[in-house]
Structure formats: C-alpha cells, structure tokens
Structure 1
Amino acid sequence: MRTVSARWAPTVARTHQVVTEVNAYLGATLLAAVPITAGQVVFDVSARGRRRCTITVPLVDRGTRWDPGSNPAHPLATYGQQLNIRTGVRHLDGTPELLNLGWYLITDTDTDETEGTVTVTGSDLYQRMDESRIISNLHGSFGTTYRYREVAERLTYVGLNNPFITDPRILPASFVGLTDRSLAGPVEVEEGTERTAPLETLCAAWPADMAVNDAGALEFRPPVTAPAAVPVARIVGNTPTATLTARGRRASRQRVYNAVYATGTDPATGAQRAVGSATKTTGPLAVTGPNGWVSRWYSSPLLLNNAQAQAAANALLARGTLYTRTEAVTAVPDPALMLNDTVEVVTDAAGTFRGLVASITLPLTANGGPMTLTVTNETGEA
C-alpha cells in the first residue's frame, strides 16, 4: 500500500474531492502540466507491463492546443514523451494529499475535432524493455561466473544497448529482499532477441517478481504467493461509512494446478541433476480429493540442486492455487491501494473474504465513478 497520512482513511470513507495532476515529460525535462476532463489508470498483475492509463484532454484549453499534430516536441506526442500521474484527495481543511501512480510512456493519441478532445493512451515503462531487443552482446551467454543480480543489472541498466539508460530520469533497477547467488547454468542472450526473455527465465528460477515501480525503476522482489495475515485495508459495505458499492464472485478451474514437478538439467549434457515436487494435500484442491491431479512441469538449467528445485516447485504451486476464487469489487476510489496488497472485503450477505489485489481500475476524476478491484485467493484459505 502506498504511504499515506493518518487523515487518509477517514477522508476516503466520506464524501471528498478527487484531485489529479498530470505532467508531461521528455526525459528529465518537464514539458507541461496537462489538463484532463476524464481518465483512468489500470493495474493488472497478470500483464507484462502492469500499468496503463487513458486520459481525455480538451483539444483547446486556455489558448493552448493539445493536438500534437506533426510536432514531435509536443507534450502529447509519441516520441518518448511520458506522463507522470499523481492523484489523491482533498481533505476537509482544503489541503490536497497526492500519491504518485507512476510513469507512462505515451503510445497513442487520438484527436476528435467534433468532440473537441484528445485521447491519450500511455503504457508501463516495461514496454521499453519489450521494444528494445539485444543489438549486440559482448558477454555472450551468461555462465556460472555471473550472479543473478549482475545479469539482471546488465540486461536492464549496465550496457547491452540498454533501453533505460538514455533517459536520465530512469533509476537503476532495485533489488528488495532477494538472495543473490551464482548462476547454476547459462542464461542465453543472443543478438536480435528480446531482452525480456532472459530476464523472465532468470526470475522464474530465482524466484523473483519483476515490475516497474511508481518511481519508474524496474524492481525485483520475492513473488507474492499468498495473502498476508493482516490486511492493509478493509473494504466494507452495509455501514454508514461504507466504501464498497457492489461485489461479485467467480470460481474457475482455469489457470489452476495442484501439483508441480521442477527439474534442473545439466546445460552441457542435458542430464537431470536436480528435482523437486510439491502437491496440494489438504483442502478442496487436494490431489487425493475429487479435484484430481492437475499438474505443471517446469525445467531449467538454472536449478543447481534439489533444494533450489524444491523452492521453485513450492513457489509455482502457490501461484497455481491462488486464482481459484476471484471477487470483483466496486468501491470508493482509493489510489493508496497497490497490486498484491492484502485486503478484506466485508458485507453482511457474503461475509468476509481476504485476498490479494490482482487488478485495479482507478478513475482519475470525480465524474469517473467508482474504482473496481479484482481480489483473489484460494477457496477455503481466507
């Protein structure tokens, strides 16, 4: 959850004014404060680039024309311009409290002269990683003399025709709570290939979760595979200060597995050198129960021994059982909430459900209506 003041929760729980600031940048240079009449930010934990935005800008505002036309230096042009979005609330005493919702690479603008609007779409800065393939690699494949963090840094910040380093505002990748170690096998990095592919291989074996954070830096953290014991927020209905307006529930067998087999292979011979397995043995997803066996196999040359293979199997199993129960929640907008936050949803009819925030659609203006969340957890585990 984003850091907020003690006044935040009481203000959100009652009628309040929404405040949003959008600024356009080119590199480290501030180009303009952008007026908006509508907009939203969407966060999705299942997407490679986890955040995207859409804003509606008046075609002409106070004498300024916001259609970029053929001007590559216009604040809303698609030549590397970025939007920084800050949104929040105005407290009863009139003071605003704004939270940074991150940086967005402008990907599209659509001008409608009839409506007098310019619609701007922005994407997570992860798109720059997707777009920038490896042009040359002086290192060749990364072997066992390299460590996990070193490979991640070389792919994302230090050399290899880096897509971020040309932007002086972009911060180096950060590593939070991860144990570094030497590679157990090669990470292939070939010229002309996507730089995201070896990064994803690295993260799967580490294991690590990779995403661009609010500051615009690529961040590596241990994957979140289960809700925390204590929620960071409660979304409550049926009370005078209710923040929840609607709630729906869905359960599905899709994307769910209850058994994982992970193996490590020798990169030279292809022989198996490590093995680990994990199965769900209790609850409604137990492999010995009516649900049956739904298995996933995973193999990587980066798994050096049985302990590493077992850790990979455990992490994959936790992910595989996480999406059996999903709730769609409509609530009062709260930009403090983040992906993978643990929240509790509480109503009289449906009771209490504790789960992880898997997606957020957040309006940026008061007329944008409520916020929608997807909250997920294993059935019977809340």
Structure 2
Amino acid sequence: MRPVTDAFLRTVRGSHRAVFEARIVTPGQTGVDPNGTTITILDGDVQLDGTADVRSTLELTTDGTGMWPTGSGSLLAPYGNEVFVRRGIAFGNGTTEWVSLGYHRINTAEQDDAPSGPIRISARDRMSGIVDGRLTAPRPFPAATTRGALLTALVAEIYPWASIEWDDVAARDDQIGRQVIAEEDRYAVCNEVVTSAGKTWWWDHRGVLVIRTSTPASRPVWEVNHGASGVLVEMGRRLTREGAYNAVVATGEGADTAYPARAVVVDTNPLSPTYWGGPFGKVPYFYNSPLLTSVSRARAAAATTLARMVGLPYSVDLTAVPNPALEPDDPIRVTYPGRSELHVIDRLSIPLTVADALTASTREQAAVLLGEV
C-alpha cells in the first residue's frame, strides 16, 4: 500500500470530498509533487495490473479547447511528455492529503469532435520505454558483471536519469555468474536479472524503478467489508483451474559446460487447496534462466514464482469505495455475510472521478507452505 495517514484510511470509509489532479510533466522527474502544467480531468481511471509487463496504464479525458497538439513541443503530443496523476481527500480543516498514482508516458491522443471537443489520452508507465527500447545489436555482459550493473546499463540507455532502488544490496551486488548476451529484447533480459534473483520490479508511484522481494500475505493492509463503515459495493467470485500451479521447477542452463542448477519448490501444506500431494494433482510450472548458476539461486527464483501463483483457483471480482493507496500484491481482508477471507490484489482500477467506484480482481491467499522435492 502506498503511504497514507491513519486519518486518510479512516476518512475514506465514510463521506468525504475526493479531489483529483493531472499534470503534464517533462520526462525525468521523480517524487510525488513534480513540476508541470495542470490539465482538466473530465473522466478517466488508472488501471494497475501486477501480472502485466507494464504495471500501470492511464485513460484520461480532458478539455480539448485549444489543446490539440500541433507540434512536437505541444503538451499532449506523444513524444515523451508524461501525465502525473494523483487522487486525494480534502479534509474539513482545509488540508488535503494526496496519493500519487504515478507517471505515465503519453501514447495516444484522440479527439472525436474537432477542433474543441474533449481529448482522450492513453498513457502507460515508464516500463513501456523499456519494452519499446529493443536492442539494435547484441550486448555481451561478462560473468563478473553484477546484477545491479547489468540492470542499470540497460535501463540507463533508455532513461539516463532513472532512479533504481533495490531492497537487497547483496542481490544488487551479486555477480551474474556466467556470460550473458542481451540480444533484441531489452525488457526480457532485465526481467531475467530480477526474476532469477527471486524478486519483482516495477516503476512505483514516485517514478522510481523498485526491485523488491515479495512479502508473504499474512497481514491484510485493508478490509473490504459490508456493514457499518463498510466499503464493499458488490462482489462476484469464481473457481477455476486455469493458470493454477502448485510447483515451480527452476533450471539454469547456459552456453557453457557448467552443470545446470535445478530446484523444485512445491506447495507442501496439506490444508492448502493446491497441496502437491492432494486431490488437486501435480501441476508444475517450468522456469529457465541462464542466470540461475547455483541451486540456491534456483530455489529462490522458484519460491518467488510459486508464491505469486498459489491461491489462483479461487478469485473474486469486487467493486468498492475507492482507496487510491491500494496496489497490486497488497493483501486485503474480504468480509461478507458468513465469510472472511484473505486475498491478494492482482488487478485494480482507480477512478479519477467521484461517479465511479474502485474495481479489483483478487485471488484468495491460502495457507501455503513451500518446500522442495
């Protein structure tokens, strides 16, 4: 969850005055209050998907009077400018607490009713630049290159000003262990560096590229509930085996002659619905990376990958009073008559108007124990 005060969390559950802001900013800024030009918000939302390459996307409609881009220097031209958006609460004492929803590079501007009708802006977070920025020639990285140096080299070619934040200095300074040749897909190589270290990565609400270890969903950061001070509007649910795994086989294979490292991590909790030895069956997912040069690396990558997959058979789609501080992978408590369940957010939509509610897709976080076989 993005940082907010207890007063914010209390107030968002009741009647309050929601406020919204969008600014067009030049690329390269970070933080939650960048310099830019404020534009009107007529409609829109921020879509967050923890399972996608590009985590955050923005759809925003603004007043089109005199705003249609006529050159590369125009505010809404899709040549590098970003939209910074935030949502907050205006308190009765005259103060406002804002929650940043991040930086989004303008991808498309559309106007159905020219010359002065509303303009729809589609924008994507900074990961889109890494995805788009394919390599024009192969790049070799020696075995002694550290993970941090490799990631920085590939990211800085797209964003020389990028701020990169690792939660683990040891992982950042760990050598990759064998020569790696980055060919066309810049994003794929960066993703291998992060995933093989047992971590996840995204551009956060400050415009910083963060590399994090997924934390167990043991304590919910928010309760979605009916009743007094409740925020749940409606809910649907489903059970499916599609996309559900209860084991990950991680293997490290490269072009050298070193024996490939290998680890298998499974769900070992007999009470889990996806228990490896239970009626769900044995459904392994296979992950291969040349950066898994040791059994310990393979084990960490397998455990992280499996932790993000367990609980998939039971999922919930819900509509709730918006809490803009929520993010993918946040654990939440979903409470409705007769049930109280721990879920993890996979996807959510945060509206930029008072007329719409928050929508989210979650998966139940079962009590899972990870072990090797």
Q: Provide TM-score, normalisation by structure 2.
A: 0.89
Show the counterpart of 2:266. Answer: 279
Secondary structure at 2:277 match in 1? coil
Deviations 1:282-323 (A, max 9, x none): 232223222211122233332222222222222233233242
Is the alpha carbon distance of 1:86 and 1:202 closer, same or farther for their aligned partners in structure 2, counting shifts above 3 Å?
same
Question: How big is each residue's C-alpha offset from its partner over 1:304-345, in whole Å with a ceiling of 9 and x where there is no partner?
Answer: 222222222222332332422211121111111122111111
CA distance in 2, matches of 1:152, 1:72: 30
Structure-2 separation of matches of 1:189 and 1:88: 42
Aligned to 1:173, which of 164, 175, 179? 164
Q: Provide the C-alpha distance between the structure 1 equivalents of 2:85 and 2:120, rounded to a whole number of angstroms.
A: 15
Deviation at 1:144, TM superposition (A): 1.6
Does residue 268 (structure 1) correspond to residue 261 (structure 2)? The answer is no
One-letter identity of the residue aligned with 1:275: R
CA positional deviation for 1:11: 1.6
- Where structure 2 has 5 or more consecutive residues not aligned to the other structure, the ranges are 30-34, 369-373
Which residue of structure 2 lines up, in the alignment, with residue 150 of structure 1?
149
Partner AA of 1:373 in structure 2 = A
Alignment partner, residue 210 of structure 1: 201
Distance 2:266 2:239 in 1: 21
Structure 1 counterpart of 2:182, from 183, 186, 189: 189
* Residue number among 360, 369, 372 corresponding to 2:348 in the alignment: 360
**CA distance in structure 1 between the aligned counterparts of 2:367 and 2:193, rounded to whole angstroms:** 32
- Match of 1:331? 320
Alpha-carbon contact 1:244-1:330 (below 8 Å) kept: yes
The aligned counterpart of 2:107 is: 107
Cα–Cα, structure 1 residues 259 and 27, in superposed 2: closer, same or farther, change >3 Å? closer
Contact 1:325-1:379 at 8 Å conserved across structures: no
Return the offset for 1:14: 1.2
Corresponding residue number in structure 1 for 2:126: 125
Distance change (3 Å), C-alpha of 1:182 and 1:245: same
**What is the aligned counterpart of 1:256 among 232, 244, 260?**
244
- 2:248 alignment partner AA: V
1:182–1:18: structure 2 CA closer, same or farther, 3 Å change rule? same
CA–CA separation in structure 2 for the residues paired with 1:147 and 1:248 = 46
Q: Which residue is equivalent to 2:371?
A: none
The alignment's C-alpha RMSD in Å is 2.1
Relative to structure 1, is the Cα distance of residues 179 and 377 closer, same or farther in structure 2, using a 3 angstrom cutoff? farther
SS of 1:272's equivalent in the other structure is coil
Note if contact 1:178-1:222 (Cα within 8 Å) is conserved in structure 2.
no
What corresponds to 1:42 in structure 2? 47
Count of aligned pairs: 358
Alpha-carbon offset, residue 356 of structure 1: 1.5
Unaligned 5+ runs, structure 1? none
1:84-133 CA distance string (max 9 Å, x none): 11211111233221111110101011112279211111111111111112
SS in 1 for 2:141: coil
Deviations 1:244-297 (A, max 9, x none): 11122122111111222222335312x633221122232322232222111222
Question: 3-state DSSP class of the match of 1:254?
Answer: coil
Deviation for aligned residue 1:80: 0.8
Q: In the alignment, residue 164 of structure 1 is paired with which amino acid?
A: Y
Report percent identity of matched pairs.
25
CA distance 1:340–1:365, change in 2 (3 Å): same
